Structure 1
C-alpha cells in the first residue's frame, strides 16, 4: 500500500472513532486502575525530574503507559516507534542501532559498524540511569510502567548530550500488595514469547519485584545456500528489585538486570542496483559488470521473496546489564535524590559483509566490551508556589574496548580491485586478497561532570517562567591500532599498494576536552484551567567525538589525522505550543510548532571517493535545520473506550553542507565531494502518523477486548549521500488484537503483527566495494498468534 493512500485511509478510519494521542492511557491497565468512569485521570510524568501533570508541562512530549505497551506487544524501542510518530528507529543489527527524534540524534551507516567515539544525540534513560551506547536500546525491556519521549534539547536536567531529546523509561516498582502476571504467546514462524512478573512484601518495610521476558522466533529470510533461515530472534531479559521504605520520608530502591541477545542474525537481501560513472567492468550490473564476470546471480531480485545466499558466518551474541541504587529523602518540603549505577555491554557478531554467495569477505566483526559508572545527586522542591526548582550534580565515566577484525576471501581481489592495478596496468593475481585481513585494538575512554539547575517562578497567578542552565565538562581519549597480515607474498609495489587500498594498518591516538553551557527558558500561560499556552527556547550541547573506526585516506592513501576529532554539536531550538482538554479530560488536544538549527551536526558518513572499500567515519556537517508541527488528539467518550492519533510533520534540511558525500550516480569522476546544501535531511519522513483504538466491553463479569494501532510514514532517503538509488518508500503498518478477559483474571487474546502483510524496507546499505549493489532489510512479515495471560 502506498503511503499516501495508506495514511488517508488510516486518518479516515480514525476520525470515525475520534482519536487519541500517545498520552492516552490504556482502557484496562494491568495495575488494576479503575476504568468504570470515562473521565481520564491526569497522566503523571517526570519530564522535569519531579512528578507532575503532563498537561501542565510546557514542552512537547509523548507518554505511553505500561498498559498500552502490554496490549500492543511492545517490548523494545523499535516497537515504540509504531506508537510515537516523532520517534524513528533504525537497526541493521543490534550494534548498528540508531534512534532519532524529529530527525536528529544518532546517525548510523552500516559499513561503520557504529562508531564508539560518537555520543548519541537522543538520551536513553532507564529508571533515571543514562545508557551511553545506542545498541543497548535494541534489547527487550521487562515490566515497564511508563515511557516518556521528551522532544527537543533536554540538557538542563537530563545527564548527557540530549540535543535532540530524551527517552525516559520507568519500570514498575516493587509493591507492598502481592501481585503477579504470567503471559505466554505463540505465533507464526514459531514465535514464542513468555513474560512474567511477581511482586509483594518481604516485611513491613521491604518489598521485592522480579520480572522477566523471553522471545524467540525462527528466521524470516531464507538462506538458499545453507538451508538455515536467517534473522532469527532470541532475547531474554531479567530484572530484580528491592524497595526499602522504613518511613514516609526515606526510600531506597535497588535494581539489577541482565539482557541477552543470541540469534542467527542479521543480514540483508538484494534490493536494487544503482548506476555510477565508473567503468562498466567495475560496476555490479550489465553484461560486462562484476556479477557477469563472476557468473553470479542473486537468489531473487525481489526483496520480498526474502531470499539470501550469503556464504560467510552470521550470528549475534551480545548482552548488557547492571545495577543501580536510587535513594530519596524528604527534607521539609524538598526531596534529595541519589542515583548510583554501573552498567556493562558485551558485543560480538559476525556478518557476511558482501551480502552475496561469493567468497569476497569471509568475516567481519568487532568484539567489544563497555563499562560505565554514573552518579547523580539532586535536590528538588516539592512546591511551585511561588518558586519551584531542581539543582544537582552529575558524574559519568565509561570505557569501551574493541577488536576490529576483517578477513577477505578468494573472490575479493577480482571484485574489489579488478584484473589490473596501477598506471601501468599490472595484472592482479586472483588470490591477492585471499586470507588477507585486519586485526586490531581500540580503547575509548570518556569522563564527564556537570552541574545543573532549573527553576519555575510563578510571576502571576496564571503565568509561570522557567529557566535552567547546565555546565558540562568532558574529556575523551582514544587509541586505535590495527595490523594487516595474510594473503600471498608479493614484492611488486603496485600490488602491495593495491592490497593496502583495501585494508591499511593504522595507528593513532586522539584526545578531546571541552566544556559548555546549555540551557532553556520558557513562559507558560494558563489561559484557563483546561488550556495552557507556552513558548520556549533551548540550547543543547553534544560533546566532541573521536573517530574510533579508522580514518579516511588522502590522495596518497594515508590516514588523514586531522579527522581524528570532530567538533562539538550545538543545537538551538524554538518551540510554541498549546495544551488543552475538555469534558472532564475525556478529550485532550495538544499542538506545537518548532524550529531547530544545529551547528556542526555530528554524523557518520561514507568516504565515497574510495573506489575499493567503503569506509564510514565521523564528520561535522556545518549546519542542519529542522522545522515542523506536531499534534496529538485523544478521546475517551465512554468507559473502557480510548482512541488516539498523533501527527508529526517535519521539514529537515542540510542548510549548509558544501562538501558532502557524493551520491552513487556521480561517483567515478574526479569529484570527491558534492554540495548537499538545501537538500532534505536523510532518514527523516516528512509526515508520520500514528493512531489506535482500545476497547474493553464489559459482558457480565467478563470483558471483550479490542486493540488496534497503526503507523504511517512517508518516504525518505536512507543514505546521507541522498542518491536516487537509496530512497525508501513510505508505508502503513497495522497491528491488532482481539481477546476475552474472564472474571478470574485469565485473558485469551488473538493477535496479528503487520496485519495486512505490508511490504516495506526498514533500512538499506550500499555494498562494501562500491559496486552499486544496494541491500535492504525487509520489514517483518505478518505474524499471527495467540496469548494466554493470567493476572493475580
Structure 2
C-alpha cells in the first residue's frame, strides 16, 4: 500500500521542491538534503491540495505546482508571470492593478468593479486575499505555488467557482542563514532583495525578508513628459516559528507592502485592415462588418476631426497600437498609491490521532489611482489622483478551523472545518467631466445633424453647441423639418456646452460581507487501490450595502426638463433630443443625486460539494473521475452608472432603489476525468473537463457605463432576438433557463528528466470556453442587455482555445570546481482570442509565442550566482484587454491595455 498522507503538523516544516507544471523533486527537511534530492522518484512529490500533505501522484485533482527552484530559474516574482508555467492559467491587469484578474480554463472575473469577487481565489499562506488584484505585487521568497483547476470549497477558506492559486511563502528554519540579490535591467530597472533567518534558542526561529523594486514606465506621456506603468514598490515580511514540541507548531506572519506608481495607460487600437471595423453599436442591429470602413482613427471617422480640432495631436491617433508614446491631457495624472498589510497566525497541534489547524488573519488593503479616463489629449473625462478618486479599501478578518485524522483502521481520512470572514469594503469615486467635455459632447449630436440633411456645415467645434452658424440660424427659424423643436435642440446643445468640470464630487460605497461556512472532505479507502472522496460545504453569505452620492452636474436635470417632451414624436427627434439628454446625464451623473443615500442587504445560502472516484491499477498509474459544484456569491455593482435604467427616461437613483445594482450568485456544475502516471524520471497527467456555469457574472464597459450582467442560456430557440439592439426582445420562460457558459476541454502536462541536471516540462490546454447559442440575462429569463448581443455562440474574452507551455532547465556541473551552470528557457504559445468582454471586432488578438530565458553560473552549493536574463525575448507585441474608448467608442474607436515589451538584465545573488 502506498504511503498516502503526511502528518499535518509536519507540513509547515517541509521544504518542498516541486518542478512545474505539477511535478519535481521530493520534499525534504533541510537545504542540504534538498541539494541532494535530484534522484528522488517523481511519484513522491508532496502537495497540500486536499488540505493534507499528500503525494501528488495520489491526488485525484487537476493541479499544477511550481517550486521555489523553478520560480528562481524563471525569474518569477509576480503571479502574472505564472502564465509561462501553467497553460490553463491567465493573469492580467487593466485600468488599475487593483483590478487584476486571474482566469483558469478561460473562466475568470473581468472588469474594474470591486463589488465582484474573484472566480479564481488567491490564498497566501492559507489566508484569502479579497480580490485577485490584491495579490499583484512582490512575492518575496516563495516555497511553492499550487494552481488548482475547477470549483473549490470543501477544503477550507473561501469558496471559488473556477479554481484557486495557493501561494506558500518560505518559512523560518532552525538554521542561521541569509541571502541577498541585486538585479539591474533595461528601463532603468533595479531590484534589491535580502533576508535573514535565525534560530532563537531551540524552539523559536525568526525570518525577515524584504524587496524593493523600481523601474521606468513602458509608456511615455509626451504631453506631460512622464512615464506611465512604472514600478516603485517594496515589501517587508517578518515571521516567527515556535515549535516547543513535535506536536505543536505556531507560525506568525506579518507583512507590509506599498506601491507609488502611475498606472495604467492605454493606446488607440489600429485595425490591420479596414474591413475589420464595425459600425457604431446600435446603428446596425447585427453589427455586421462594413467592407471598406475607415480605420478606427482615420479622419473618415467623423469623431476624429473633432478631436483634432479640440487639440488632439495627430501623432497620438495615427501611431501604431504598440507605439508607446501617448498623448494625454495636460495636467492629468495616472498617479496612485497602494498599501497592503496584515498579520496571520497558524497553529498546528497534534493530539493523538487527530490534527488541529487554526488560521487567524487580519488584513487591510487600500488603493487609489488617478486617470485621464478618456485616454485622449482632449479633456473629456478624468479622475483626480487622491483618496476621493478611484479608490478602494478592504478590511478583512478571517478565521479557519480544521480537524483531521483517520478512522476505521486508516480506512477513512477525514477532515471537518469551519470558516468565517468579515470583509468591510469602501469604494470612493469622483469621476468628472473634463474642461473640454462641453465642447466635445455636442459634436456627437451635430454629427447626427450633418447626416440628417444639414450637411457638414452643421459641425463647428469652435462654436457653442458645436453648431455651424448657418445651421444654428436654420434650427432657430423653425423652418426646417424639425419645426419648432429645432430651437429647443439649439438650447439643449448650448446647455450641454456648459457641462465642464462637473460630475461626481464624492461618491462613497460601503459594503460589509459576513461569510460563514462549514465543510468536510473525506477520503474513503475502499481497497488499497480504490478510493472514494466525498466533500460537502454549506456557505451562508450576507452583504450589507450603503451608498451616498455627491454631484454638481446641473446640466442633466436642466436638459431633461427642456427636451423630454420631444421624445416619442419621431425617430429623428428621438435620436437628437435623446442624444443630448444622454450626453448630459452620461453615467447617471446628475445633481439630483447630490446628497442621496441608499442602503440594502442581501443574503444567500448555498450547498456545494464534490465526489471523486479514484483507482490505481498499477503503482505508477492513477485514474479518476469527479463531480463538483461550485459557487461565487452575488452582490452589488459599486458603480452609480448601473442605477441608470435609461439615460433618456430618468434616474432611478433618486428613488433610493438598488434593484439595478444587484446581481445573483454564480454557480457551476463541473465534471472531470483524468489520469496520472509517475515514475522516477517521468510524469504525465491528463484531464478532461466540462464545466456548466449558471448566472455567470460578466462585467463589461460599453463605452458609456459598466454593466454587470448575469448570463444564462435558454433551451428554446430565440432566433436572433438575443442578438439585436433591443433590450425588450429575447426573453425566455423561466422553466427553460439553463446554464449560459460552458467550459470544456483537455489538459495535458508532463515532465521528463533524462539526467539529474536536465529537466523538460510541457503542458497543453485545449479549452472550448463559450457562451450558449441562445442567451438571456437572468435566471428568470429576462432579455440579455443589447450591448452583449455578440456573445451568443462565441468564445469568452481572453479565452484562447489552445495554450501550450514548455520549459527546459539545464544545470550542469563545471568540472570538479564545485561550480555549476544554468541554462533555462520557457515558452508560452497562445491561440487567437478576443480581448473585449463584449467581443466587438477590432478587439481580436492574433496568436503569439512568448519566450523567456536565463543563463548564468553558480558557486558551490549555490552560495552565489551571476545570471543574465530576458523576458519576452523576441519583443512580441500583444494586448491584454481592448475596450471601447470612453465617449469616443460609438464612433468605432477602441483603446487597449498592452502587455509588457521585452525586458532584460543581470542578477547577482549570494547567500550563506
User: What TM-score, normalized by structure 2, do the two folds share?
Assistant: 0.79
Question: Residue 291 of structure 1 corresponds to which residue in structure 2?
Answer: 304
Q: Does 1:377 align with 2:406?
A: no
- Contact preservation (8 Å) 1:657, 1:675: no
Distance 2:627 2:768 in 1: 19
Q: 1:657 to 1:507 in 2, by over 3 A?
A: farther
- Measured against aligned partners, the alpha-carbon deviations of 1:103-159 in whole angstroms (never above 9, x if no partner) come to 113122xxxxx2222111111101111111222121221111000001111111132
Q: CA deviation at 1:426?
A: 2.6
Question: Residue 500 of structure 1 corresponds to which residue in structure 2?
Answer: 585
Distance 2:836 2:242 in 1: 50
Q: CA deviation at 1:615?
A: 2.9
| RMSD (CA atoms) | 2.6
Q: CA deviation at 1:262?
A: 1.3
Q: 1:233 to 1:672 in 2, by over 3 A?
A: closer
Task: Find 1:252's aligned residue among 250, 253, 261.
Answer: 250
Distance 1:191 1:118 in 2: 34
Distance 2:146 2:325 in 1: 38
Q: Which has the higher contact order (CA 8 A, sep 6+)?
A: 1
Question: Residue 901 of structure 2 corresponds to which residue in structure 1?
Answer: 781
Task: Find 1:528's aligned residue among 599, 618, 628.
Answer: 618
Q: CA deviation at 1:616?
A: 3.4
Question: Residue 700 of structure 2 corresponds to which residue in structure 1?
Answer: 605
Q: 1:181 to 1:252 in 2, by over 3 A?
A: same
Question: Residue 13 of structure 1 corresponds to which residue in structure 2?
Answer: none
Distance 2:677 2:824 in 1: 26
- Contact preservation (8 Å) 2:788, 2:838: no
- Contact preservation (8 Å) 1:105, 1:120: yes
Q: CA deviation at 1:620?
A: 4.1
Question: Residue 461 of structure 1 corresponds to which residue in structure 2?
Answer: 528
Distance 2:828 2:787 in 1: 39
Q: 1:657 to 1:331 in 2, by over 3 A?
A: farther
Task: Find 1:308's aligned residue among 310, 326, 335.
Answer: 326
Q: 1:351 to 1:46 in 2, by over 3 A?
A: same
Q: 1:70 to 1:671 in 2, by over 3 A?
A: closer
Distance 1:288 1:760 in 2: 25
More helix by share: 2
Paired residues, number: 753
Q: 1:751 to 1:672 in 2, by over 3 A?
A: closer
Q: 1:24 to 1:468 in 2, by over 3 A?
A: closer
Q: CA deviation at 1:24?
A: 3.7
Question: Residue 51 of structure 1 corresponds to which residue in structure 2?
Answer: 53
- Contact preservation (8 Å) 1:341, 1:375: yes
More strand by share: 1
Instruction: Output aligned runs, 1:138-287, within 5 Å.
Output: 138-272=136-270, 274-277=277-280, 285-287=298-300
Q: Does 1:350 align with 2:370?
A: yes
Distance 1:712 1:652 in 2: 18
Q: Which runs of 5+ in 1 are unaligned?
A: 1-19, 109-113, 662-669
Structure 1 window deviating more from structure 2 (548-557 vs 27-36): it is 27-36
Structure 1 window deviating more from structure 2 (188-197 vs 265-274): it is 265-274
- Measured against aligned partners, the alpha-carbon deviations of 1:5-28 in whole angstroms (never above 9, x if no partner) come to xxxxxxxxxxxxxxx851243899
Q: 1:672 to 1:746 in 2, by over 3 A?
A: closer
Question: Residue 72 of structure 2 corresponds to which residue in structure 1?
Answer: 70
Q: CA deviation at 1:486?
A: 5.7
Q: Does 1:596 align with 2:599?
A: no
Question: Residue 21 of structure 2 corresponds to which residue in structure 1?
Answer: 22
Question: Residue 676 of structure 1 corresponds to which residue in structure 2?
Answer: 791
Q: Which runs of 5+ in 2 are unaligned?
A: 1-18, 272-276, 284-292, 447-464, 466-484, 564-579, 714-739, 779-784
Distance 1:395 1:616 in 2: 30
Q: CA deviation at 1:678?
A: 1.9
Distance 1:703 1:137 in 2: 34
Q: Does 1:90 align with 2:114?
A: no
Q: 1:38 to 1:250 in 2, by over 3 A?
A: closer
Structure 1 window deviating more from structure 2 (642-651 vs 483-492): it is 483-492
Question: Residue 490 of structure 2 corresponds to which residue in structure 1?
Answer: 426
- Contact preservation (8 Å) 1:85, 1:689: yes
User: What secondary structure sits across from 2:87 in the alignment?
Assistant: coil
Question: Residue 747 of structure 1 corresponds to which residue in structure 2?
Answer: 865
Q: CA deviation at 1:413?
A: 2.8
User: What secondary structure sits across from 2:875 in the alignment?
Assistant: coil
Instruction: Output aligned runs, 1:384-423, within 5 Å.
Output: 385-418=410-443
User: What secondary structure sits across from 1:326 in the alignment?
Assistant: strand
Task: Find 1:445's aligned residue among 496, 499, 512.
Answer: 512
- Contact preservation (8 Å) 1:410, 1:431: no
Task: Find 1:483's aligned residue among 550, 563, 566.
Answer: 550
User: What secondary structure sits across from 2:838 in the alignment?
Assistant: coil
- Measured against aligned partners, the alpha-carbon deviations of 1:332-354 in whole angstroms (never above 9, x if no partner) come to 12210111000110111101111
Distance 1:320 1:765 in 2: 29
Q: 1:767 to 1:494 in 2, by over 3 A?
A: farther
User: What secondary structure sits across from 2:305 in the alignment?
Assistant: helix
Distance 1:645 1:723 in 2: 33
Instruction: Output aligned runs, 1:67-146, within 5 Å.
Output: 67-92=69-94, 93-108=96-111, 114-146=112-144
User: What secondary structure sits across from 1:443 in the alignment?
Assistant: strand
- Contact preservation (8 Å) 2:343, 2:363: yes
User: What secondary structure sits across from 1:81 in the alignment?
Assistant: helix
Instruction: Output aligned runs, 1:617-766, within 5 Å.
Output: 617-622=708-713, 623-655=740-772, 658-659=775-776, 674=789, 676-699=791-814, 700=816, 701-743=818-860, 745-766=863-884
Distance 1:288 1:627 in 2: 40
Distance 2:522 2:175 in 1: 36
Q: CA deviation at 1:276?
A: 2.3
- Contact preservation (8 Å) 2:702, 2:884: no
Q: Does 1:768 align with 2:886?
A: yes
Q: Does 1:553 align with 2:648?
A: no
User: What secondary structure sits across from 1:55 in the alignment?
Assistant: helix
Distance 1:137 1:655 in 2: 32
User: What secondary structure sits across from 1:226 in the alignment?
Assistant: coil
- Bigger Rg, which one: 2
